[in-house]
Amino acid sequence: MTRLSRPRRLAAVAVIALCAVTTAACSSSSDDPAGGGGGTYLVWDPYPQFADDSDWVALLKKCGTSAGVTVERTGYDTTDLTNKALLAAQQGNSPDVLVVDNPVISTLAEAGALTTTEENKLDVSSMEANLLGAGQSEGKTYGVPIGANTLALYYNKDLLDGAGVDPGSIKDWTSLTAALTKVKAAGKKGITFSAIGTEEGSFQFLPWFWGSGAQLTSLDSAQAVSALTLWTDWLKQGHAPNSVINNTQTTSWQEFATGEYAFAENGTWQLGNAEKLGFGYGTIAIPASTGGPAPAPTGGEFVSIPVQSDAGRYATTQQLVTCLTSADNLLTTDATLSYVAPVAAVQERQVAADPKLKVWVEAVKVARGRTGDNLGTKYPKISEPLWTAVQAALSGTKTPQEALAAAQAAASNG
Amino acid sequence: MTPPTRTRRWPAWAFLAPVTGYLVAFYAYPLYRNVELSLREYTVRSFVQGGAPFAGLDNYRTVLSDPTFWPTLAHTLVFTGGSLAFQFTFGMALALFFHQHFPLSRTLRALILVPWLLPLIVSASTWSWLLNSDSGLVNAALGVVGIEPVHWLTSPGWSLASVTIANIWIGIPFNLVVLYSGLQAIPAEVYEASALDGATGWQRFWSITLPLLRPVSAITLLLGLIYTLKVFDIIWIMTKGGPTGSSATLAIWSYRLSFGNLLPEFGPGAAIGNLLIVMALVAGLLYIRLERRQHLR
């Protein structure tokens, strides 16, 4: 072999260095599946808390094996996942299976990044209609719910006993506020929730908003004003701490965990932590203004099948997703995630195994999808003005009336 | 045989190629993409499927005519100006203090660097606990001396001040380190001479330290400006720019538009990003101009 001259050698080094910098240019894309069977199927989910030895990943592998493929799974932070999914769709390298927070489905569907159930042949007939709603737009269904969570009121049993409040007596807003007054008289704090200026804030306000009879299409209705007035008055009267304006659902839970608060509005996902509280707890449905349970928004993820350039992959992906959402597997997955199953039959099995879930199953039954009612991608344009209005009223910048009028104006402009 | 000039030029190009490749791939191209994003009307659909129509300066017009633009710009200026002024003043005072070389000065100086070493998420979360309306240490301390609790993070009147205070605290070590090293470069003879002439401490500071530190001060302020304009994490962790946008800066607004909503608006988000780059660029050019004038003198 002839020795390269010095300049030549340097040039070669430079080319290698350039290649290293612009990897995409020098590498060839090589994730071609081996025909119909076999190959690697990518799954993205928003559960970074689950390591490779978790039940969730074991289930993914098992479903892969029964479909005759290898599953490669990546867990992303949930806020990160939306951007990752959009970018992947833009670059044409979407995963085969995307597990994603339900309100994101309408955004990704709008982007044309997801297949419909007509295309991917997923069977969604057993799913509860109110849960499936979040994944539907203009008569098409873009995914299948893997589990649902929603909001309810956790209460501190010991504290309520001390204050002489019977949680069973709380049926509507009047009786709830009366309970808060009693708690305050007993020298304790009333209720904590999250009214932060993000989607979380809207998520937490919606049970009260919907519970008043208000609709997302009319943010400044008298009912909507009554819901925001309820929250604002709680702050004014000291039933709720001022910190709720900046509380995430996690910090709100931490406040409740101090044992100083009688009630906390929080989600199904806290059930695991609730067992670790240093006091007795219970849950009641969030009451509607005139009684009965208020419709809370549904949380939880959908399993979707992103668009692939190779349509031949859908058949195997469909097997994978069907396996993930089969009754037995839903039971396991939803137990790990502390979610309520999206199928009535599985819900019954959940309650039979753990009667404490009854409140949650009932709350999920009356819950509503945020992007449902054909709002779809209009929802984000409504939600942002709504959480801004909540913040404006709670911080005293505007009256509930003014704040919601401004929100409605912003929502109709957007 | 190749002429000697060509042989000499080859290695030169070869050495240039990696850095050029790096700059193009990681600086020029993203910058170009950001400008392009801001000049097109992107929806989520056209972001993925392509074919976003060219919109000229529409995104900039949208941003500039948005009712939140002027308040947000004002917040950015107050946040940046306030941060720079206090960081620099405290940094300078501490630099002068530690320049005295008293016992323990090394240990204390190292301690002051701690805010710099902490991950931002840690310091911002700590500040947000300290300033919590109901269970924060600051309000508890105020309560001891009989002052009513202040809603640091949850009232529109205080939120901007609170995030600025946190940012000042984080920025002091940087100012201290740079100014301290600048102080060490001032020859001791100048001070000795002035002492012989009977200059007081204040006179020494105004007539020697400050003028001789000017180049170092200018670069400290410029770097501080560029750093502060783009501050995002502290504000996002402490207040999310709220309540009702009262602590939102341009950087926060840009993030909110592009990523903070279920339905991203990349066009206006990129437009704000570019406005921030222009602001930093103007400051940089101003700096170069001042530098040059000083050299001519």
Q: Which tens digit of pLDDT belongs to each residue from A231-287?
A: 999 999 999 999 999 999 999 999 999 999 999 999 998 888 898 899 999 999 999
CB B83 within 8 A of CB B168: yes
A329-368 pLDDT tens trace: 999 889 888 899 999 999 999 999 988 899 999 999 999 9
Q: Alpha-carbon distance A399 to A151, whole Å? A: 26
CB A395 within 8 A of CB B159: no
∠ Cα A113 A119 A120 (to 5°): 85
∠ Cα A111 A112 A117 (to 5°): 130
∠ Cα B200 B201 B207 (to 5°): 85
B180-221 pLDDT tens trace: 999 999 998 998 898 898 888 888 899 889 999 998 999 999
Question: Which of B126, B150, B262, B266 to mutate against chain A (most A CBs within 10 Å)?
Answer: B262
Closest by CA to A227, choosing from A208, A201, A240, is: A208
Q: Predicted confidence band at A414 (pLDDT cuts at 50, 70, 90)?
A: low
Is the residue at B123 inside a domain? yes
B192: domain CATH number is 1.10.3720.10
The three-class DSSP label of residue B47 is: helix
Is the residue at B50 inside a domain? no
Record the pTM.
0.85
Is the residue at B46 inside a domain? no
Q: Does B69 touch chain A (CB under 8 A)?
A: no
Q: Alpha-carbon distance A205 to A201, whole Å? A: 6
Q: Alpha-carbon distance A104 to A145, whole Å? A: 12
Q: Which candidate from B135, B155, B240 shows the least CB-CB separation from A196?
A: B240
A172-186 pLDDT tens trace: 999 999 999 999 999
Q: Predicted confidence band at A37 (pLDDT cuts at 50, 70, 90)?
A: low
Q: What percent of chain A has pLDDT over 70?
A: 91
Give the CB-side neighbour count of residue B219, counting CA atoms within 13 A: 9
| Residue B243 to residue A391, Cβ atoms within 8 A | yes
Residue A16: closest C-alpha in chain B:
B18
CA–CA distances in Å: residue B216 to residues A166, A324, B93, B191, B238: 68, 62, 15, 18, 32
> Which chain A residues have a beta carbon less than 8 Å from that of B151?
242, 245, 395
| Residue A82 to residue B18, Cβ atoms within 8 A | no
> What integer pLDDT is reported at residue A257 of this predicted model?
94
Mean pLDDT for the stretch of residues A135-156: 92
> Which chain A residues have a beta carbon less than 8 Å from that of B158?
none
> Which chain B residues have a beta carbon less than 8 Å from that of A396?
155
How many C-beta atoms lie closer than 10 Å to residue B98's C-beta? 18
Q: Which candidate from A17, A199, A242 shows the least CB-CB separation from B18?
A: A17
CB A56 within 8 A of CB A49: no
Residue B44: closest C-alpha in chain A:
A111
Is the residue at B40 inside a domain? no
Question: Measured in whole angstroms, how far is the alpha carbon of residue B90 from the centre of its chain?
Answer: 16
Query: Could you tell me the residue range of the domain that residue B213 belongs to?
Result: 57-296
Please provide the distance, in angstroms rounded to a whole number, between the alpha carbons at the two ends of chain B: 52
The pair phi, psi for residue A267, each rounded to 5°, is -105, 175
Is the residue at B165 inside a domain? yes
> What integer pLDDT is reported at residue B55 of this predicted model?
86
Question: What ipTM was predicted for this assembly?
Answer: 0.84
User: Going by C-beta distance under 8 Å and a sequence separation of 6 or more, which residues neighbour residue B19?
Assistant: none
> What integer pLDDT is reported at residue B254 of this predicted model?
94
Instruction: Please state the length of chain A.
Output: 414
Mean pLDDT for the stretch of residues A34-53: 81
Closest by CA to B280, choosing from B25, B23, B31, B20, is: B31
Residue whose entry in the numeric block shows the structure tokens 């879930």: A357
Question: Which of B44, B130, B252 to mutate against chain A (most A CBs within 10 Å)?
Answer: B44
A18 has pLDDT over 50? no
A300 sits in the region (left: phi over 0; alpha: psi -120 to 50; else beta) called: left
> Which chain B residues have a beta carbon less than 8 Å from that of A82?
262
Q: Alpha-carbon distance A59 to A299, whole Å? A: 22
Is the residue at B235 inside a domain? yes
Q: Does B14 touch chain A (CB under 8 A)?
A: yes
Mean of pLDDT over chain B: 90
Mean pLDDT for the stretch of residues A74-85: 88
| Residue A380 to residue B18, Cβ atoms within 8 A | no
The three-class DSSP label of residue A309 is: coil
Closest by CA to A363, choosing from A138, A154, A103, is: A154
CA–CA distances in Å: residue A349 to residues A121, A150, A331, A343, B90: 27, 19, 8, 10, 64
- Beta partners for residue A45, in sequence order: A75
Is the residue at B41 inside a domain? no
Residue A21: closest C-alpha in chain B:
B22
| Residue B243 to residue A392, Cβ atoms within 8 A | yes
CA–CA distances in Å: residue A295 to residues A163, A287, A351, A385: 28, 9, 20, 20
Where does residue B219 rank: exposed (0-12), middle (13-18), buried (19+ CB within 10 A)? Answer: middle
| Residue A392 to residue B7, Cβ atoms within 8 A | no
Question: Measured in whole angstroms, how far is the alpha carbon of residue A401 from the centre of its chain?
Answer: 29
Q: Which two tokens stand for residue B214?
A: 């000017």
User: Going by C-beta distance under 8 Å and a sequence separation of 6 or more, which residues neighbour residue A122?
Assistant: A141, A143, A144, A305, A318, A321, A322
Mean of pLDDT over chain A: 88
Closest by CA to B219, choosing from B168, B166, B279, B177, is: B177
Q: What percent of chain A has pLDDT over 90?
A: 71
Q: Which two tokens stand for residue B139?
A: 């309000």
User: Going by C-beta distance under 8 Å and a sequence separation of 6 or more, which residues neighbour residue A280?
Assistant: A156, A157, A158
Closest by CA to B267, choosing from B37, B33, B31, is: B37
CA distance A356 to chain B (A): 31
How many C-beta atoms lie closer than 10 Å to residue A302's C-beta? 26
> What integer pLDDT is reported at residue B177 of this predicted model?
92
Mean pLDDT for the stretch of residues A49-68: 91
Mean pLDDT for the stretch of residues A393-406: 95
Closest by CA to B206, choosing from B222, B194, B193, is: B194
Q: Does B62 touch chain A (CB under 8 A)?
A: no
What is the count of structural domains for chain B? Answer: 1
Q: Alpha-carbon distance B78 to B82, whole Å? A: 6
Parts of chain B with a pLDDT under 70:
1-7, 296-297
What domains can be seen in chain A, in order of their start residue? 40-145+301-338 (3.40.190.10), 151-298+371-413 (3.40.190.10)
Is the residue at B278 inside a domain? yes
Written as one string, the DSSP assignment of A8-73 is HHHHHHHHHHHHHHTHHHHSPP-----SSS-SEEEEEES-TT--TTSHHHHHHHHHHHHTTSEEEE
CB A243 within 8 A of CB B135: yes
CA–CA distances in Å: residue A207 to residues A181, A190, A268, A363, B135: 21, 18, 14, 10, 27
CA–CA distances in Å: residue A52 to residues A59, A301, A319: 11, 20, 22
| Residue B154 to residue A22, Cβ atoms within 8 A | no
Mean pLDDT for the stretch of residues A29-36: 40
